[in-house]
Amino acid sequence: MNCPNCGAPMLLAPNHDYYACTYCATHYFPQPSDDYVRMLAEPVGLACPLCHGALTTGSIEGTRVACCTRCRGVLVNRLVFGQVVAYLRSRAVKPAVAPRPVDLRQLQRTLHCPQCDQAMDVHPYYGPGNIVIDTCGACQLLWLDHGELASVIDAPGSDRRR
């Protein structure tokens, strides 16, 4: 990414979710998408299991994830996903949205883990949001299609901030 001020290359600030220009000290703060993900655009060396585009670094409330700039899916560690969901649901300020019914056709698809290339398990997520997730038990990774994280965060429940 190049600096909008001087055109010099910008670097992702270590342990932060913004870019800094080493030449003119300009900062760029990517905004989170409607799915709570900040696209940070640093390559992670893995291919998207859905559209096979390159996965890049993303961030959800300071937690690093891999995301696809093409289909906007998110690859996240299983334990990190639970922590992110608990945190975001506890801080939710938007009104809860009734979840849509599960699309049972998603249970028929087969995705391969970007890390180990094994077939991922496809199953309903048994938390809020009525989504279908793809998981790799060997790598402890979860694949979320675009909009699924928002469905989980925005679903009604007593754990949401009121």
Model confidence over 26-63: pLDDT tens digits? 999 988 888 889 988 889 999 999 999 999 999 998 89
Domain ranges (residues) in the chain: 1-30, 33-154
Read off the pLDDT of residues 90-124 as tens digits, 9 standing for 90 and up. Answer: 999 889 998 888 888 889 999 999 999 999 999 99
- What is the value of pTM for the model shown? 0.87
Distance CA 98, CA 134 (A): 22
* Phi, psi torsion values for 79, nearest 5 degrees: -70, -40
Please give the structure tokens belonging to residue 139.
């790598």
Query: Given a cut of 70, is residue 162 above it in pLDDT?
Result: no
